[in-house]
Amino acid sequence: MVTPPDIVRAAYASLVVTSLSAARHFWVDLLGFVVTYEDARSLYLRGYDELTHHNLILRSGPEAAAGALGFRVRSGDDLARASAFYQALGCRTERLPAGTVRGTGEVVRVEDPLGFLIDFFASSAHPQRLQQRYDLRRGAEVARLDHFNICVPDVPAAYSYYSSLGFGLSETIEDGQTLYAAWMYRKQTVHDVAFTGGAGPRLHHLGFFAHEPHSVLRMCDILGSLSRQSCIERGPGRHGVSNAFYVYLRDPDGHRVEIYTSDYYTGDPDHPALRWSVHDPRRRDFWGNAVIPSWYTQASVVLDLDGAVRPVTDIAQTAEVTVGADGFTAPPPAPVPPSAPPAPPR
Ligand code: 4SX
Ligand code: FE2
């Protein structure tokens, strides 16, 4: 097998938005992203901890879609490995000279076997360090990009492709027959990428890390105060999978964003995967709150190397939403077994 590139982490994503001013208001003024660069057609944003040029590129365009998902690789040699790896798979690849993606060294851009546009880069400009500029923080006080969640018609196929790229498995949702969802990592957290079974390729959401559960709650309070509560799609709550505290929001174009905090360390070489039953009502919300059906079914279409929207293939396996207990399909609590009254103390 061809050696895969040494991927460090999920680093940036690019979204096409239909109104850059509406998107700026949402991502910068409300969520509190930092602007690294902007012009009339694009915005380059990062979290307060981020020391590369950007975590998110917003570009204005005629139709909402997701562009490339960016992985940082360890060195320049890994760019050559990425090219060779995808060429051996028969995938289209491009080399973009340094600066083609603003603030970023050379990029290898590929159409991956799942149908997503993926960027690999090894170097980036270092912007001003803002971690301790508490005076500037707003909104959810987003720290950095944490993960991509993608909709794929065939979850086992996505799992085996990302395994071949050297990703570790942290958690799954499954039953005896079907792998419904999986979480995989390169950095030492629960994930850099996760798969939701559904029509694909589509981007399900971008997960951004915040340091405090309080940031998640504060974001919800801010949206309520501004009568923007309809942006809140799911949560706030505690995930079963990952143990993170979360909320999902929808941006003005419907792109889904998760504010995510306090998952756990996965860096030991023998890190054991946690496997959840699809019938466990705590798996997606540890408190058993129902997952709204739109969360399972709606997602952003993705672009190909020519900038065209990728056609979507229907789910090729049983849909989790039709089997899983999610609060609304949860079995009633087990009856308390009858027992004899405790014997009086002697
Ligand atoms: O809904 S899940 O609890 O399975 C979940 C969803 C866990 C972690 C995530 O990042 C996520 O998006
Ligand atoms: Fe997530």
Q: Which atom of ligand 1 is nearest to the CA of 244?
A: 8
Looking at the CA of 171, which ligand is closest?
Answer: 1
Q: Which atom of ligand 1 is nearest to the CA of 207?
A: 10
Residue whose Cα lies nearest atom 10 of ligand 1: it is 207
What is the rounded CA–CA span in Å between residue 102 and residue 3? 28
- Which amino acid, residue 82? A
| Ligand 1: centre distance to CA 327 (Å) | 15
Residue-level pLDDT at 235: 97
| Ligand 1: centre distance to CA 239 (Å) | 6
Residue 76 near residue 122 (C-beta atoms within 8 A):
yes
Q: Which atom of ligand 1 is nearest to the CA of 149?
A: 12
Residue from 180, 184, 193, 242 whose mutation best tests the ligand 1 pocket (most atoms within 8 A of CB): 242
- Which amino acid, residue 206? L
| Ligand 2: centre distance to CA 2 (Å) | 30
Question: Is 97 exposed, middle or buried (CB count within 10 Å of its CB: 0-12, 13-18, 19+)?
Answer: exposed
Nearest to 144 by CA among 32, 302, 7: 32
Fold of 7-125+140-301: 2,3-Dihydroxybiphenyl 1,2-Dioxygenase; domain 1 (3.10.180)
Q: Which two tokens stand for residue 224?
A: 């309520």
- Which amino acid, residue 302? V
Residue 258 near residue 246 (C-beta atoms within 8 A):
yes
pLDDT in tens, 6-56: 999 999 999 999 999 999 999 999 999 999 999 999 999 999 999 999 999
What is the rounded CA–CA span in Å between residue 198 and residue 314? 7
What is the rounded CA–CA span in Å between residue 99 and residue 50? 19
Residue-level pLDDT at 322: 86
pLDDT in tens, 240-249: 999 999 999 9
Nearest to 228 by CA among 201, 211, 247: 247
Looking at the CA of 238, which ligand is closest?
Answer: 1
Residue from 205, 216, 234, 246 whose mutation best tests the ligand 1 pocket (most atoms within 8 A of CB): 246
User: Where are the chain's structural domains?
Assistant: 7-125+140-301
Looking at the CA of 239, which ligand is closest?
Answer: 1
Residue whose Cα lies nearest atom 4 of ligand 1: it is 284
| Ligand 2: centre distance to CA 216 (Å) | 14
List the Cα angle 210/174/334 in 5-degree steps. Answer: 90
Pocket of ligand 1 (CB under 6 A): 149, 207, 239-242, 244, 258, 260, 283-284
Q: How many residues does the chain have?
A: 346
Q: Which two tokens stand for residue 206?
A: 């971008």
Q: Which atom of ligand 1 is nearest to the CA of 205?
A: 12
Residue whose Cα lies nearest atom 3 of ligand 1: it is 284
| Ligand 1: centre distance to CA 259 (Å) | 11
Per-residue pLDDT of the chain (346 residues; tens, 9 = 90+): 799 999 999 999 999 999 999 999 999 999 999 999 999 999 999 999 999 999 999 999 999 999 999 999 999 999 999 999 999 999 999 999 999 999 999 999 999 999 999 999 999 999 999 999 999 999 999 999 999 999 999 999 999 999 999 999 999 999 999 999 999 999 999 999 999 999 999 999 999 999 999 999 999 999 999 999 999 999 999 999 999 999 999 999 999 999 999 999 999 999 999 999 999 989 999 998 989 989 999 999 999 999 999 999 999 999 998 887 564 455 555 666 666 556 666 6
Residue-level pLDDT at 327: 47
